[in-house]
Structure 1
């Protein structure tokens, strides 16, 4: 795929907001939060800052909104608390001897909520749609997949362009939530009228505001879903979420770390869900002044990660030098202290650059006000680089077109750690502002990981070596990370600690 097509697709995805009809006049008339709720029903009232803009999983991509789409859609696999692939729509899978073909064996007798069968042909069409639909946010994640065929009703054969043992992780709920092919034939309608085989079925959507869902009795694991109804609401101003939890307007919310202490004081349960969240300063090494490695070196030494943690995370964050938490298999211990804060070294590197003596000014383009941008501005001013912060609500279009000189970004990670690495450091990486640049030795390190089965004793070593090779990239300087912070009413039981996910399996709500 050439760069022009890639950029056009990204522009289409980021700028083409699809039509958003409410699901039928009868559903639209359902009214307030309690309309249609049966007495005594276990109702999850979730206030979220990430209310889905898109309900088509191909368009919505794998950002934070995938947690909401997972209410409606199941995936081929899902991950457990250890980040390992487990059965979902597929009850098992196996590779051929060469490692360039994997067959997923689907569960028998499943249907989507529109009555269509969850079969091999449906999964085949879901993968193909993610690879080819013009506004797909996922096509870049599926480059290892060459062809998908249906072998009978229940076996999905995925033929690969190379040996790649990451596929069972890749096809989890972050990348391939499977929609009914009948509904997906009209992607614009699917985008606001989702049809899947998830634990819940949508009965009402008020675009950008609210969604109501009811338990899906035909879900393959319905026996372990103890919630009858979900009312998902776009959170108002963050400062009002805690009061809404106190008064029972909501009983569950994702919150900013700044709100956690007040929630604790109100007697609510604050819990931390492990995550892959990591923020970075993104640089474009194809444009001045970052075309000079010495300027990048100056920035690397000029960033004080501890300041981000102390000022922004309210005790929940940690300094970050890589996109993984230190408990994760892909975390590279050798890169723990990469590029320590040192103003003298930063100034010395800048003095050795070809821009020495110049009045260096860089535009840092961001979508909205962000305190981390101001910290970067202050820190780089101290070493001789002036940062102009520019707010552009349409920031995403030039970012993904690789037109910006500098920006900031945060990632929620992927279920496949290798996919996280290639997204950040690969030549076509969606988070690599310097595409097609990639660090030396990264491609070979990635290939070695792909060729290593997940159960192989060398897997962790090879994966960490790929992380180390990626971190040589001059395109990103990681700053800080923080987990996902949630607040719930004590009536909701503990949630499974799946990294980055919100899993409702086994969760109960007492009346």
Structure 2
């Protein structure tokens, strides 16, 4: 299968993130951060972000929300367009072999990292192997289907352990932002001195606080990046963001739902960037009482998803019973509302399982104080299950070791729908608290998706069938989707709606 994309589509596919915040003393008289651009001077995007990266090495930072910021500096083999499909980035095109267990990526000629090193096949090979083997890599679990990588000139051959047509979706911004192999020889230094081939170059970095960047003139699509400078700051208290946008201290920020109404009243542009956020109740079916399927079903019917949306997102989120948003290619319409809120049925199921109200007493272990945990506690108490909320700062260790009986979790999803499914429902999935349990038929359904080319007319049907099989899992009860909420002032033009990404291609900053 060959993947080719026109020059027009290539230009539209670029994603960058620009961020900033400057001190109040830098505010211009016009108060919108864009006057210099309007006057013909350099344009600066100033973003106050609550996701300021702790790590700037993408291998260490992983695929959480920080990837949007790291993509200022780093390009990747592929990226996603507004439909969520993989399109070229460092790779100009690619093709699979007939068997579907090998894919060859062809890189754009003449590219280089900002330290002058060439972007060639050897650099990509090094990036993949480092992500798979570096001791503190947060990405090794995402690359298990890759068996071997070889390189020759500008070609990279990725040999797979199985037939898998998801690889172009996988090797995008979340999983394969590429650093200079020369800089990556010292990972500790790279972590706070990033060197990539993305749209911007870091000129100043104060760890955990502030980053200043300038446009990279050698970026492959620099002609369509209209932002000259980026200033990123770790967001202050949420209550100060709106006033900062009004005065011009910032011109872009991520926003908490509690501040959305104030931002709208201030005349700012508030928008939800589409994404794959999904929160869930994580259950371990290997531990009592969840080894009884009726207890799991009782929990499913005890959950009022609307309460999460109303109380935690101020109505801006969505109830969800799947790890995908409704309308997305992987969302299974037949599984919608499969376990509706029904407290009476929940109580009946517990009685059938031999439990009286108050018999079941459990710890709900979480990493920090979260209002969501109190909602879960209240809703299960209403059907006779007593939860004690316990905050464990080292929560990740027992969670990922599958030692807990009950917890809550949320993810920002993946660009590869299959990766999202296997992470939640697979026998070795990091989000499957019930490892090695998996629902019957799931493995076969996922294998069929991997064997189906993304442009095949059979792909949507196969993918939804895998979602349906995964939702049989008794290890997760999905609750709600939090919004990817952002706010900007009028100086910043509208952004493309790439799912889960922030795309600055073609975005301009101007005066009022």
TM-score, normalising length: structure 2: 0.91
Structure 2 residue matching 1:218: 3-state secondary structure: coil
Deviations 1:444-475 (A, max 9, x none): 00000000000111100000000000111111
The correspondence of residues 106-255 of structure 1 with structure 2, limited to 5 A, is 106-150=107-151, 152-255=152-255
The correspondence of residues 58-73 of structure 1 with structure 2, limited to 5 A, is 58-73=59-74
2:472 aligned with 1:475, yes or no? no
* Corresponding position of 1:19: none
How far the C-alpha of 1:185 sits from its partner, in A, is: 1.1
How far the C-alpha of 1:393 sits from its partner, in A, is: 2.4
- The structure 1 segments of at least 4 consecutive aligned residues displaced by more than 6 Å after TM superposition are 30-33
Instruction: Provide the C-alpha distance between the structure 2 equivalents of 1:490 and 1:384, rounded to a whole number of angstroms.
Output: 51
Contact 2:358 2:385 in 1 (8 A): no
Contact 2:304 2:379 in 1 (8 A): yes
Instruction: Provide the C-alpha distance between the structure 1 equivalents of 2:396 and 2:490, rounded to a whole number of angstroms.
Output: 39
Contact 2:213 2:230 in 1 (8 A): yes
Instruction: Provide the C-alpha distance between the structure 2 equivalents of 1:160 and 1:354, rounded to a whole number of angstroms.
Output: 48
* Corresponding position of 2:58: 57
The correspondence of residues 28-427 of structure 1 with structure 2, limited to 5 A, is 40-150=41-151, 152-353=152-353, 355=355, 359-427=359-427
Instruction: Provide the C-alpha distance between the structure 2 equivalents of 1:178 and 1:255, rounded to a whole number of angstroms.
Output: 29
How far the C-alpha of 1:352 sits from its partner, in A, is: 2.2
Quickly say closer, same or farther: Cα 1:57–1:346, change in 2 above 3 A: same
Structure 2, unaligned runs of 5 or more: 1-21, 28-32
How far the C-alpha of 1:476 sits from its partner, in A, is: 0.6
How far the C-alpha of 1:356 sits from its partner, in A, is: 5.1
Deviations 1:136-176 (A, max 9, x none): 111111111100000x2100000001110000000010111
Instruction: Provide the C-alpha distance between the structure 1 equivalents of 2:387 and 2:236, rounded to a whole number of angstroms.
Output: 32
Contact 1:209 1:233 in 2 (8 A): yes
Structure 2 residue matching 1:455: 3-state secondary structure: coil
Structure 2 residue matching 1:462: 3-state secondary structure: helix
Instruction: Provide the C-alpha distance between the structure 2 equivalents of 1:188 and 1:32, rounded to a whole number of angstroms.
Output: 33
Instruction: Provide the C-alpha distance between the structure 2 equivalents of 1:250 and 1:434, rounded to a whole number of angstroms.
Output: 44
Contact 1:303 1:479 in 2 (8 A): yes
Instruction: Provide the C-alpha distance between the structure 1 equivalents of 2:213 and 2:137, rounded to a whole number of angstroms.
Output: 25
How far the C-alpha of 1:390 sits from its partner, in A, is: 1.3
Instruction: Provide the C-alpha distance between the structure 1 equivalents of 2:268 and 2:69, rounded to a whole number of angstroms.
Output: 22
Contact 1:33 1:231 in 2 (8 A): no
Contact 1:304 1:379 in 2 (8 A): yes
Structure 2 residue matching 1:460: 3-state secondary structure: helix
* Corresponding position of 1:22: none
How far the C-alpha of 1:353 sits from its partner, in A, is: 2.1
Instruction: Provide the C-alpha distance between the structure 2 equivalents of 1:49 and 1:290, rounded to a whole number of angstroms.
Output: 36
Contact 2:358 2:386 in 1 (8 A): no
Contact 1:44 1:251 in 2 (8 A): yes
How far the C-alpha of 1:33 sits from its partner, in A, is: 8.7
Higher alpha-carbon deviation: 305-314 or 320-329: 305-314
Instruction: Provide the C-alpha distance between the structure 1 equivalents of 2:45 and 2:321, rounded to a whole number of angstroms.
Output: 37
How far the C-alpha of 1:394 sits from its partner, in A, is: 2.4
How far the C-alpha of 1:392 sits from its partner, in A, is: 2.0
Instruction: Provide the C-alpha distance between the structure 2 equivalents of 1:401 and 1:41, rounded to a whole number of angstroms.
Output: 50
How far the C-alpha of 1:34 sits from its partner, in A, is: 5.7
Deviations 1:344-397 (A, max 9, x none): 111111112255576211111222221111111110001111111112222222
Instruction: Provide the C-alpha distance between the structure 1 equivalents of 2:122 and 2:487, rounded to a whole number of angstroms.
Output: 40
CA RMSD, 1 decimal: 1.8
Contact 1:302 1:383 in 2 (8 A): yes
* Corresponding position of 1:9: none
Instruction: Provide the C-alpha distance between the structure 2 equivalents of 1:207 and 1:286, rounded to a whole number of angstroms.
Output: 42
* Corresponding position of 1:5: none
* Corresponding position of 1:466: 466
Contact 1:276 1:483 in 2 (8 A): no
Contact 1:276 1:324 in 2 (8 A): yes
